[in-house]
Structure 1
């Protein structure tokens, strides 16, 4: 890299910095007997009030100021391209987390609150949280109409009424019903849970048991063992469910071994698991081999009741672990329940809402917690059946709110019949695009597999902070009462009295005279339902309230929403409008610490976004990085990984990237400083100028594609690379002489300034979706923005004629030769002259930059930063032959580019400029 003015952009590590005063002194002092300040006024140095750095309180204040004209990455990327975007922010306000947080400070006194009092406290908590979150989102520069009328809230009357109407439509279609089925149940929350409300504890330890169950009826294939004790071996991690055992399931295509122990007992076990079983219970001698289907007709004695129970086929049975035989309790497992339905088995659940055995389990079990002393009591009760126990560490579902283990138990709940919706849902997903592209295949497969495997959807919860399921029941039979007319009456009552009327009004008022007359009953014979709708139904129905046509271009959320909002929205939309509610899905990752751990206050590894943007109490220890740094981190790291690390190192790296961009923007703005000129100037463009426009054209297309595909991490990478290399290290470095040392009315200088203006326009818009504050701040300092109009209000279309591959071919060939010159040069290249010998093909390309055989003023001299170049064409050579020689004269004291004609004199260009200034 050349010296002199070449240091204006510095070497690579200081690529974005410049200091105009030290720069001027450096080059003018290289000539003897020259006054260092003599030519200061004639150098057209960059001038701008755009600050080179903003930190601390000034950073926070600037972010606040920019909010006055700012209303986010996806939204902004569409708007900046001239698209209209309808984004309506919404809050899911119901659910157990809010109810629990609202009551946590009340402790035991919360148990004495009425349903309405609980709802009032939950609503107060939700409203306060909404207000705080809305302020934070606004401070992050997220573009939306943040007035209450511009948002939606799932606890508002209009939203709840829409839910009630959608529910009754589903009920009329036969897609929702009440049934006794197993669901995930949280004893700690005392409510049913959805799969998406679970988190799996990989460190959970269960007391597992291998249990023998005596056959009382041998299948035909084992008739030869008649008179001998034959046992089926089962293995379970939930011994407490044995109280509800109704069958043993086998895999039809698995080979089973009947093996004998030393006491002439025979045990049925999967053949390939026999060696593992022997490690637990001792040596077994194989006797007979049969297939799973040959176990049909066999029966065994249930270990608690002693009743005879059947062997049944089970598609979920594998030989990955255990014994190859699985105990079936239809009331305590989803697969078990389906097997129970297929084989007409009883669905027994003897566990209450606290996770304790009911009186029906027997006097010795009643009141025992099934996850603790209940399981132990069962093993003691059937001690003669237990052949082995062990502590088994495995993945187990926990309530994501209370962090306590859950159980599966059958209870009366409301369900959506997903079986009737699956195929249409799967078909609709064929037309849904999933982003980011790098994860689309796995994400799409994840969603389709979950839809395929989902047996049913429990939409009822046993809480009060939510939307009530609009049904009444007969007190004596529990039969359901609901219809559309009565549902509309309920909607009217809610509009008139508020949502709490469901819990406040007497049954007579809720039911109404018309319904009581039609049913020919007294109000005392009825009772209101006590269940509320699942929050995933709450949020999943949002398309019917928010979207004018019931379909969004994009749903954007975290990867966990493939089991949550993405899926609940899909199923409700298929059920109610026969199509998916979205054209595309975008799934981002989750923030973790540098060790990959989820952020938790208890672990002390939480990084508060507000602290990132505004800083901590001590700004020296916790600096205010600003909103843009946070957004750059999100864009750079949030889309390509499922776990996204948030570390001080990454945040500092993001801050450095934003700072580098700020400095180059400062340079570009400074170069646009409008020096006074008496007459209009027609720009004259060099090949390098046209090359930069060509590169800018393709950069813009690339960025547009990346934004369209939601590849924000790649957009960040392309932006930094283009700015650091093409714009700064190449173009800005090579035009410095024209920019600073040509006259104000130079058409060549005007061409460079014109290109810088285009660079600034394109770069600012390409950055705006990710760094809106920086982009707007740049725009505020732009000489053309006289009215302080927000950037996204101004369009900028790139002409097709910027795309000039022929220009690119010339410059890129020349840059290859320049790279060779740089390797050879040992002094400032402006102090060198070169003779360059090229093959005819190279020569014909490069001569576009230098028409004459020898020149000191050609565009090739500017590009190579040589004082003189002589070009020679020669056959028979492959690579350029370069001969560098020092010039005989010193460089001009003003521009430090052209050789001086005489010692102490200026070059002809500089002399002419100084002469005109003096007159």
Structure 2
């Protein structure tokens, strides 16, 4: 490893140590007859007040101080490039989670609250949460106008009124209607849920049952079995739905086997599932093979009512498990419902909002919970039809708030007709860019598939904390009453009396004389709707409130929003303005622990971001890493994976990365220390200086591209690699002799200082979007920033003439030779002289750094850190031939680079500097 002054100060590890003791110690070792202390003042060491490390309370205090001038990664990366960014923070303030949180402490007493009282408590809870979250976002250095006027809130009057107007537009277009359809229903929350409000429990266990259903009408293909009992075998994990069974579905292209048991009963089952069925119910002897289409015309006896029901085709039927025949309950399944529509089957739902059978289910079932005793009661009721039962572990939907299982049941709800919007929505996605680029194909496909598969969108919820669906109903018929004029009246009432007026005002006041006169009814004949709008409609309509032109450059959220906000925004925008509300989407991953588990308070694996930035009660055990460490972790790990581990090890690694950058910035700032000089100096640039500017130019372009593509993890990687290698290990290491030991008025030193200034300007801006606190702290310590102007108030454009491929070719060829020298050297390279033989092509390139055949002061000597170099050109060789020999003299006691002319004397350069200083 080459030495010189770099070794004096220590290599990379101690590159930023400014203590002169190591220098003095080296001088003493260099020459016993020289007193090195007299040269100390002549060494131009870096000087800066920028601290090498900030930790503990100082870290927290510095973060607080920098907040006054700080503004976030995506937004900052745009602003630093001179773009104008409009970012309006918003809060989804409605919904069941907030309503539940507000009521949870009240326990039983919450049951006695009026709708308005519940809303007031929910609003109080929401406002407190907003205040806390806003303070946290501000503490993380996220750029925005955080005043209330600069944000949007879905529970504010103006936002709600906009929703009411958008709803009535959808209603007038025929895209919204009320219907009796199956939806996900949470008995624990007593409301309908969207797919995005579910989480799937992989450990859920159901009592599955294989049921035989006796055919009362044989299809023509099975006429030969007339007079024998023929059964269809079906398998279900929800036996409770058999009460609403209306058909059996088959797959048209599947081969079915009719097999006989020992008692001369015949069973219809998918041929490839026969062996598995036999494991459950015993030996079956295959008799007849038919296709699914040949089951048309067959009918069976419904197991509860005994009524005759049909066989129907079902595109969702597979032979992956079960029997290949699926029992259909149109009131309890989305696919079942569509099959019911196609075959004009009744839609029967005998389950109430608590998940219990209604009286219509029969006196022996009424009041039973369908997921518990209700299912057991059904199996007991049809015991003769049950041929096998087992506990079956499978993925099952749960209410993500209450962590309780949900059911599918038909009920009167409001729906958006997504079928009418699908194709236009899919077409619009062709023009939407999805980031990060590494995940764009799968992410785009995910959203496309979600839109394709969605049959309809239930936008009504059975709660009070939200935006009311603006409709009235006739009490006796349930028919709907609403129109634009009345909707506008409601908007004016809300502006005048507040949003709670929907629940507070009497019907005659809500309806108004004009509407009552037009309808020719008395107010007592009407009732207000009790449903609120789905929170996904709430948030999905935000584009119409926030965006001046109805279109954003970017929507940024977690990957789960492909089923949530990304999709709801797309569908509402297509419905209302015929185009997507965004030009691009950015989807990030979610934090998990080191075992890949989702973070949960119940598991005790949550790492609080505030604890990361501010530390715990005991800062020794839970250190304050600061805002920048948290942001570096987010940028490094949050964009390339769907599950993002957050562990102490990764946080510590992020802290170490930030610390490395801090130390390098400290050196760069110190190198810019303005030593007093009597006359202006015109910088003279070495090839190495021009090479660094060339590299800096391309680094800046690369970083700009990565930010533009939202590849923040790659930006972090490029920043660290460039700073640690090109800037620190290469450039800063090689210019230290010029920087420390040349005279103050040296044009060569001025060139290096000028380049360091450019490095600092580019690097600071390149990492400012990710590490805004560090960037601003660096900028505040910059010698040129005398007025403490924030970094974002200063511009810096890179000239095109920095891009010099010819310079890069020279330096890169020379660095290849330097690598070979480093391998050969066994002592400090400044104590070596080299004869280097090159082929003519290499020679013509390298001589740009050394014009003379032999030199002790050339740029090549500086680059190779050799005391003397002789270059020879020779044909017929491929690689450089290097001959290293120790110099005969000792090195200069001041610079430890050039050989001294005689013992105890300084080299010519140092002697000249000391002479001028003494005069």
- TM bracket (short chain): over 0.9
> Could you tell which deviates more after superposition, 785-794 or 729-738?
785-794
CA offsets 1:329-382 (integer angstroms, 9 cap, x no match): 000000000000000000000000000000000000000000000000000000
Q: CA deviation at 1:36?
A: 3.1
Q: CA deviation at 1:786?
A: 1.1
Tell me the distance in 2 between the aligned counterparts of 1:520 and 1:9.
95
| Residue in structure 1 matched with residue 914 of structure 2 by the alignment | 914
| Residue in structure 1 matched with residue 521 of structure 2 by the alignment | 521
| Residue in structure 2 matched with residue 298 of structure 1 by the alignment | 298
Tell me the distance in 2 between the aligned counterparts of 1:460 and 1:15.
64
Q: Is the 8 A contact 2:682 2:747 kept in 1?
A: yes
Q: CA deviation at 1:16?
A: 5.8
Tell me the distance in 2 between the aligned counterparts of 1:743 and 1:237.
86
Q: CA deviation at 1:23?
A: 3.2
Q: Is the 8 A contact 1:16 1:728 kept in 2?
A: no
Tell me the distance in 1 between the aligned counterparts of 2:74 and 2:197.
28
Tell me the distance in 2 between the aligned counterparts of 1:837 and 1:328.
87
Tell me the distance in 1 between the aligned counterparts of 2:144 and 2:773.
15
> Could you tell which deviates more after superposition, 2-11 or 542-551?
2-11
CA offsets 1:509-560 (integer angstroms, 9 cap, x no match): 0000000000000000000000000000000000000000000000000000
CA offsets 1:862-900 (integer angstroms, 9 cap, x no match): 000000000000111111111111111100000000000
CA offsets 1:795-837 (integer angstroms, 9 cap, x no match): 1111111000000000000000000100111110000000001
Q: Is the 8 A contact 2:235 2:325 kept in 1?
A: yes
Q: CA deviation at 1:5?
A: 1.2
Q: CA deviation at 1:22?
A: 2.3
Tell me the distance in 2 between the aligned counterparts of 1:12 and 1:79.
34
Tell me the distance in 2 between the aligned counterparts of 1:749 and 1:11.
21
Distance 1:313 1:27, change over 3 A: farther
For the residue of structure 1 that corresponds to 2:412, the secondary structure is strand
Distance 1:892 1:9, change over 3 A: closer
Q: CA deviation at 1:233?
A: 0.1
Q: CA deviation at 1:8?
A: 6.2
Q: CA deviation at 1:11?
A: 3.6
Structure 1 residue runs of 5 or longer lacking an equivalent are none
Tell me the distance in 1 between the aligned counterparts of 2:426 and 2:277.
42
Q: Is the 8 A contact 1:892 1:898 kept in 2?
A: yes
For the residue of structure 2 that corresponds to 1:415, the secondary structure is strand
* TM-score of the aligned structures, taking structure 2 as reference length: 0.99
Q: Is the 8 A contact 1:297 1:310 kept in 2?
A: yes
Q: Is the 8 A contact 1:5 1:27 kept in 2?
A: no
| Residue in structure 2 matched with residue 336 of structure 1 by the alignment | 336
Tell me the distance in 1 between the aligned counterparts of 2:93 and 2:304.
45
Q: Is the 8 A contact 2:8 2:22 kept in 1?
A: no
Tell me the distance in 1 between the aligned counterparts of 2:730 and 2:826.
20
Distance 1:18 1:655, change over 3 A: farther
Tell me the distance in 2 between the aligned counterparts of 1:299 and 1:643.
49
Q: Is the 8 A contact 1:88 1:546 kept in 2?
A: yes
Q: Is the 8 A contact 2:4 2:865 kept in 1?
A: no
For the residue of structure 2 that corresponds to 1:366, the secondary structure is coil
What RMSD over aligned residues (CA atoms) do the two structures have, in Å? 0.8
Q: CA deviation at 1:13?
A: 5.1
Q: Is the 8 A contact 1:29 1:36 kept in 2?
A: no
Q: Is the 8 A contact 1:103 1:110 kept in 2?
A: yes
Distance 1:110 1:653, change over 3 A: same
| Residue in structure 2 matched with residue 394 of structure 1 by the alignment | 394
CA offsets 1:743-798 (integer angstroms, 9 cap, x no match): 00000000000000000000000000000000000000001111111111111111
Q: Is the 8 A contact 1:28 1:894 kept in 2?
A: no
Q: CA deviation at 1:107?
A: 0.3
Q: CA deviation at 1:138?
A: 0.3
Q: CA deviation at 1:12?
A: 5.0
Tell me the distance in 2 between the aligned counterparts of 1:7 and 1:469.
75
Tell me the distance in 2 between the aligned counterparts of 1:444 and 1:880.
52
> Could you tell which deviates more after superposition, 646-655 or 1-10?
1-10
Q: Is the 8 A contact 1:15 1:729 kept in 2?
A: no
Number of aligned residue pairs:
919
Tell me the distance in 1 between the aligned counterparts of 2:24 and 2:212.
93
Q: Is the 8 A contact 1:51 1:666 kept in 2?
A: yes
Q: CA deviation at 1:7?
A: 2.9
Distance 1:20 1:155, change over 3 A: farther
Q: CA deviation at 1:71?
A: 2.5
Distance 1:20 1:665, change over 3 A: farther
* TM-score of the aligned structures, taking structure 1 as reference length: 0.99
| Residue in structure 2 matched with residue 663 of structure 1 by the alignment | 663
Does residue 75 of structure 1 match 2:84? no
Q: Is the 8 A contact 2:36 2:893 kept in 1?
A: no
| Residue in structure 2 matched with residue 599 of structure 1 by the alignment | 599
CA offsets 1:666-700 (integer angstroms, 9 cap, x no match): 00000000000011000000000000000000000
For the residue of structure 2 that corresponds to 1:37, the secondary structure is helix
Q: CA deviation at 1:624?
A: 0.1
Tell me the distance in 1 between the aligned counterparts of 2:251 and 2:16.
68
Tell me the distance in 2 between the aligned counterparts of 1:16 and 1:188.
62
Q: CA deviation at 1:902?
A: 1.1
For the residue of structure 1 that corresponds to 2:335, the secondary structure is helix
For the residue of structure 1 that corresponds to 2:36, the secondary structure is coil
Q: CA deviation at 1:2?
A: 2.5
Q: CA deviation at 1:30?
A: 1.7
CA offsets 1:130-165 (integer angstroms, 9 cap, x no match): 000000000000000000000000000000000000
Q: Is the 8 A contact 2:836 2:871 kept in 1?
A: yes
Q: CA deviation at 1:664?
A: 0.2
For the residue of structure 2 that corresponds to 1:39, the secondary structure is helix
Q: CA deviation at 1:718?
A: 0.4
Tell me the distance in 1 between the aligned counterparts of 2:315 and 2:49.
73
Q: CA deviation at 1:34?
A: 1.9
Q: Is the 8 A contact 1:208 1:235 kept in 2?
A: yes
Does residue 826 of structure 1 match 2:850? no
Q: CA deviation at 1:28?
A: 5.2
CA offsets 1:450-502 (integer angstroms, 9 cap, x no match): 10000000000000000000000000000000000000000000000000000
Q: Is the 8 A contact 1:838 1:873 kept in 2?
A: yes
Tell me the distance in 2 between the aligned counterparts of 1:909 and 1:794.
39
